[in-house]
């Protein structure tokens, strides 16, 4: 019948944007302007992004996520928000905007704007009873990735942040941080910089199912890249989240690692 068909069409169109949200076209058009005038330049030159520009980009993306979360219902789902963010990725080919649900009303966004580490961020949102807010944003420099780590004993949610720096001849710098949200409190559980203040350089890393496997490059006074003898001094390790840290292990949250000389 015609009437049911019209009702279905209206319902479909109504899901295009949350009620009360700023027009998506306005945000999208402004994001496209910034991408072409600012992001394209720093991507080419490798320069820094002006703080005011960074702030405007963050506000645009935060607005898109928070409007959907406040609208609730299907609009607040990670799937719906992901589709909204895809239009921004389409507007700027250098962008990769990913968001995932952590449960307990938490959504974690990994927003890559540049492969050179310019303008990238990780952002944690929370929605409760129609209210939504940005809980924390990380701007560490480098290329970010996020991983849902697991459900710790005592409740809460854990997630792992990884930041990869500019690659060298055979390895690249990596920073890892494990964070926990419990009873409304967000706090770091473990950070690689605490165990490796001079930096953690790796030639291989794989993170999956709350498990880290990596090959760490040992650096010391007189170290030079590309030397076969020094390359053999690197260590390979596998670490899981189910054990406690070992003093000589590769960095890993609460992990006992098996080390072997390569």
What pLDDT is attached to residue 5?
43
Residues 6 or more apart from 40 whose CB is under 8 A from it?
none
**Averaged pLDDT for residues 33-48:** 84
Look at 14-18, 52-56, 197-201, 202-206 and tell me which has the smallest mean pLDDT.
Answer: 14-18
DSSP per-residue string spanning 114-172: -TTSSS-EEEEEEEETTEEEEEEEE--SSEEEEEEEE--TTS-EEEEEEEE----SS-E
Domain ranges for the chain, please list them: 22-139, 142-262
Name the range with the highest mean pLDDT among 162-166, 178-182, 234-238.
178-182
Provide the pLDDT confidence category of residue 135 given band limits of 50, 70 and 90: very high
For the cut 70, the answer to whether the pLDDT of residue 251 exceeds it is no
Q: What is the reported pLDDT for 243? A: 32
Q: What is the pLDDT of residue 225?
A: 62
Taking a C-beta distance cutoff of 8 angstroms, is the pair 162, 147 a contact?
yes
pLDDT of residue 245: 31
Q: Which residues pair with 162 in a beta bridge?
A: 145, 176
Confidence at residue 222, expressed as pLDDT on a 0 to 100 scale: 65
Kind of pairing, strands 96-103 and 106-112?
antiparallel
pLDDT of 124 strictly over 90? yes
Residue 41: band (very low, low, confident or very high) from pLDDT cuts 50, 70, 90: confident
DSSP state at residue 259: E
Residues in the chain: 262
Task: List, in order, residues 6 or more apart from 101 with CB less than 8 Å away.
Answer: 77, 78, 107
């Amino acid at each position: 019948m015609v009437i049911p068909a019209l009702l279905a069409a209206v319902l479909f169109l109504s899901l295009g944007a949350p009620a009360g949200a700023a027009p998506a076209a306005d945000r999208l058009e402004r994001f496209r302007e910034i991408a072409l005038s600012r992001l394209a330049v720093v991507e080419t030159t490798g320069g820094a992004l002006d703080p005011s520009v960074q702030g405007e980009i963050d506000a645009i993306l935060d607005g898109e996520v928070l409007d959907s979360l406040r609208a609730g219902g299907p609009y607040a789902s990670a799937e719906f928000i992901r589709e909204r963010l895809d239009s921004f990725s389409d507007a700027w080919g250098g962008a990769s905007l990913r968001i995932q649900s952590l449960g307990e009303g938490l959504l974690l966004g990994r927003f890559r704007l540049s492969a050179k580490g310019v303008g990238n961020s990780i952002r944690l949102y929370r929605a409760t009873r129609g209210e939504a807010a940005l809980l924390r944003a990380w701007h560490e420099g480098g290329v970010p990735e996020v991983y849902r780590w697991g459900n710790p004993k005592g409740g809460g949610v854990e997630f792992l942040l990884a930041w990869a720096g500019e690659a060298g001849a055979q390895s690249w710098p990596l920073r890892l941080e494990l964070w926990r949200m419990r009873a409304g409190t967000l706090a770091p559980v473990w950070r690689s910089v605490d165990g490796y203040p001079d930096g953690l350089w790796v030639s291989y890393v794989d993170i999956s199912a709350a498990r880290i496997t990596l090959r760490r490059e040992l650096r010391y006074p007189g170290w030079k890249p590309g030397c076969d003898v020094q390359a053999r001094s690197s260590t390979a390790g596998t670490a899981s989240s189910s054990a406690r840290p070992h003093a000589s292990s590769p960095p890993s949250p609460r992990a006992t690692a098996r080390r072997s000389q390569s």
